[in-house]
Amino acid sequence: MSERVPATEGVHAGNPQLDLLPTSELIALLVGDQRDAVAAVAVQSAAIARAVDEIAARLRCGGALHYVGAGTSGRLATLDAAEMPPTFGTAPDLVRAHVAGGEAALVRAIEGAEDDAQAGAAVMRDAQPCDAAVGISASGGAPYVVAAIEAARARRAYTVALSSVSSSRLVRAAEHAIVVETGAEALTGSTRLKAGTAQKIALNAISTAVMVRLGKVYGNSMVDVVANNEKLRRRALRLVTELAGVDERRARGLLEAAGGRVKAAIVMERKRCDAAAASELLERRGGSLRAALE
């Protein structure tokens, strides 16, 4: 019996002859095909929301979020994890990405890395029940990713599969699944295209929503932003000016007294307290600016 080919490896509707298309039509096809990625993620909104609530609950209890992927999936996971500390002021190890082949695989393909199930299981050997692990694989068949999720689940961590194939090994291995059915690619088998786009959208949604649930956002503002460059320093100043209701001179003074921490600076002004008291109040309120200002 021949092996069943996953939908991500199938032939695109119409079997477009890319090499025969005029460039304008080629670009229109490639760009237009991306609409399927957005639609596929939108269908999974409820599944993503369930994952977010479970992940946030574990992080509140001191756990970490692990992303596991190979190839494009691993690189997208690494990108998302890397954005968490500067955007939300998280510790570097709160959201961790594990990519098949290690750091070298971020800049070049490492042959056979995704087939190394033993390496996948090894990255989850220290997983704890308070952790969460999201395995990312378009086909859902990468042994590295499947083994990592199986190992994490065996250690009672919360496990999520992010795949484009509902019948995949990864989906079966995880406790919860987010299946973004993007189907066949315009360039057959090249899941860096719309399958990759769908993964990027889903990861953006997961990480951002988790951080909202953890109190890292006030309204739609990144109040835990780490102001380590001029653009972000201006943003921090603008946030304190707007949310504390002060002029720029006062905002600068508050930020300096608060050690650059936007939330503490706002609490200092709104609650008429010093930096130590503001920090203590925020800690008692689980880091939520909204709760601290009530």
Question: Active-site positions?
Answer: 83, 114
Q: By the 8 A CB rule, do 234 and 92 touch?
A: no
Give CA–CA dist 185/193, Å, rounded. Answer: 7
Residue type at 67 in one-letter notation: Y
Q: Which residues contact 136 (CB under 8 A, 6 or more apart)?
A: 67, 68, 69, 73, 74, 76, 77, 145, 162, 163, 199, 203
In the chain the first and final C-alpha atoms are separated, in Å, by: 65
Q: Which helix (H) or strand (E) holds 191?
A: none
Q: By the 8 A CB rule, do 247 and 241 touch?
A: yes
Show the CA angle centred on residue 197, arms to residues 191 and 200, nearest 5°: 115
Q: Is 137 helix (H, G, I), strand (E, B) or coil?
A: strand
Q: Which residues contact 100 (CB under 8 A, 6 or more apart)?
A: 69, 70, 71, 74, 110, 113, 114, 116, 119, 120, 142, 144, 145
Q: By the 8 A CB rule, do 265 and 244 touch?
A: yes
Cα-based distances in Å from 98 to 111, 114, 230: 16, 11, 31
Query: Percentages helix, strand, coil for the chain, rounded to the nearest 5?
Result: 55, 10, 35
Q: Where does the chain show beta strands of DSSP type E?
A: 65-69, 95-99, 132-137, 158-163, 176-179
Give CA–CA dist 238/29, Å, rounded. Answer: 42
